[in-house]
Chains A and B, each alone.
Chain A
Amino acid sequence: MEEDSRVEQTVIPTENAEQAAEQTAEQAAQAADATDPGKERLKCIIECLIFASDIPLTIDRIKQVLEDLAPRQIRELVAELIEDYRTSPRGIHIREVAHGFQFCTRPEYASLVHQLRKSKPYHLTQPTLETLAIIAYKQPVTKAEIELVRGVDCAGVVKSLMDKNLVAIQGRKEVIGRPFLYGTTQKFLEVFGLETLASLPTIEEIKQLSDAAIPVAEEDTH
């Protein structure tokens, strides 16, 4: 192809000049596809926006700035950006969480960040975690329904989950007494690194894991 066009150019240069110019432009574009300046610039813009955002940045909000791009294009660019960070030796990367994107440190350096911040690792007690798991899977759920599963009073634990902003009141159940209904928050997704609630393992998957953990006596059937 290249040779052909070159031959043509030399033979009848005037007629085919335009076409040849077009061709070389196309070739250049193909060759430079990996480092397309326009695309790289868009990735830089998205990188800035994610960095400057306080909360996980959604595709919709990126689109408010880059109006001409389709959500699908933005998603592709973000995916490339994430991949760029993943494949280069960096201390931070971008994660998809709580319906958006966010910069965060890599887990292998956690102890050093704690050293800097003089902080203790975020910790939830076993009762708090169990209650949170029940709320996450059964939401919206009343306190009585949580207590039914756990078999103990949960008022204090639910309160502490609300103080931590992991759980919030989402309404009232239309039964006698109109009790509050509890559900998980955006912060819950952020803390546990979940993109959406659908990213939780399904209750069926949990069932399998849980049943495997229960000892079943290996006895002969009688």
Chain B
Amino acid sequence: MQYQVKLDIFEGPLDLLLYLIKKNEVDIYDIPMALITGQYLEYLELMKELNLDIAGEFLVMASTLIKIKSQMLLPPVEGEGEGEDETDPRAELMEHLLEYQRYKEAAHQLVTRELLEKDIFKRPQTEDPGEAKVDGDMLIEASLFDLVDALRKVIERKDLPENIMGVAVEKMTVRDKIVSILRQLKETPQLVFQSLFDPLVTRFEIIVTFLAVLELIRLRAIRVFQVQPYGEIRIVALASQVPLDDLGS
């Protein structure tokens, strides 16, 4: 029987290296490459034995370590870099480790603060979306993708027949729909995107309504937003006047 064990202590090769440096109490500015490389490879071997997936990054780091180690074995090349300090092959790795260590410390500083919903609590936000929320800056602007996705849901939900053709339905125009949406917004400050489609039956009407929404966004007459990512899309009116005469039909 096989057991799958996930060790997430070492999230990446840098984590493992820092661990080895600390464990051996060696100087990060003067890493003994032979010792650390040896232990690093041993650890990879252990992970293999434990049947752990070794992420590619670990292997890349292994080759980097071996490369540095071999570079250090080479005698300094004569003529090159006369008088000036030979650049330490470990310098880049060291910088990288130090930088990573800094952000680990920064993360530690963050988590030791008084955290909301852990150490302290604020008043729960009011559920009523109609007030206060609208001019808050926590709102998420709905993107075109959100709108298209909402439209897709509307069409799926309706389970429409392709079109009821032949009957001379009085056709609704984008312009009519714009007027109707604006009228609804005068009565209620906020509309739910889905609700615009509620009384509709045909695919044609749904498309016309959707085009009307897009047109109103373009004219900056409405604003579409979500209270949470991928949440329900809501519509509010903006103050600008809509030049109805300029609209095509």
Chain B residues within 8 Å of A191, by CB: 115-117
Let me know if A110 and B110 touch, CB within 8 A: no
Residue of A nearest to B125 (CB): A54
Closest 8 CB pairs of A and B: A152-B12, A122-B117, A210-B105, A133-B106, A129-B107, A121-B118, A217-B27, A133-B107
Chain B stretch 55-110: residues in CB contact (< 8 A) with chain A = 55, 57, 61, 96, 98-110
Let me know if A214 and B28 touch, CB within 8 A: yes
User: Any chain B CB within 8 A of the CB of A115?
Assistant: no
Chain B residues within 8 Å of A86, by CB: none
Let me know if A132 and B110 touch, CB within 8 A: yes
Chain A residues within 8 Å of B21, by CB: 214-215
User: Any chain B CB within 8 A of the CB of A68?
Assistant: no
User: Any chain A CB within 8 A of the CB of B198?
Assistant: no
- Besides A210-B101, A210-B102, A216-B29, 7 other A-B contacts (C-beta < 8 A): A55-B136, A103-B122, A104-B120, A104-B122, A130-B104, A193-B120, A213-B105
User: Any chain B CB within 8 A of the CB of A79?
Assistant: no
A-B pair count, CB < 8 Å, reads: 150
Q: How far is the CA of A190 from the CA of B132 in the complex (A)?
A: 18
Choose from B57, B98, B110, B133 the contact partner of A133 (Cβ within 8 Å).
B110
Chain B stretch 110-144: residues in CB contact (< 8 A) with chain A = 110-111, 113-123, 125-126, 132-133, 136-138
Q: Which residues of A contact B (CB under 8 A)?
A: 51, 53-55, 95, 102-107, 110, 113, 119, 121-124, 126-127, 129-130, 132-134, 136-137, 149-153, 162-163, 165, 186-187, 190-194, 200-201, 203, 206-207, 209-211, 213-217, 219
Choose from B55, B96, B110, B132 the contact partner of A136 (Cβ within 8 Å).
B110
Chain A residues within 8 Å of B158, by CB: none
Choose from A151, A163, A210 the contact partner of B14 (Cβ within 8 Å).
A151
User: Any chain A CB within 8 A of the CB of B49?
Assistant: no
Let me know if B106 and A214 touch, CB within 8 A: no
Choose from A151, A190, A209, A217 the contact partner of B116 (Cβ within 8 Å).
A190
Let me know if B106 and A137 touch, CB within 8 A: yes
Chain B residues within 8 Å of A110, by CB: 118-121
Let me know if A119 and B110 touch, CB within 8 A: no
Task: Tell me whether A107 and B116 are in contact in the complex, defined as CB-CB below 8 angstroms, given that A133-B110, A149-B99, A152-B55 are known contacts.
Answer: no
Q: How far is the CA of A162 from the CA of B230 in the complex (A)?
A: 11
Chain A residues within 8 Å of B108, by CB: 129
Q: How far is the CA of A18 from the CA of B29 in the complex (A)?
A: 82
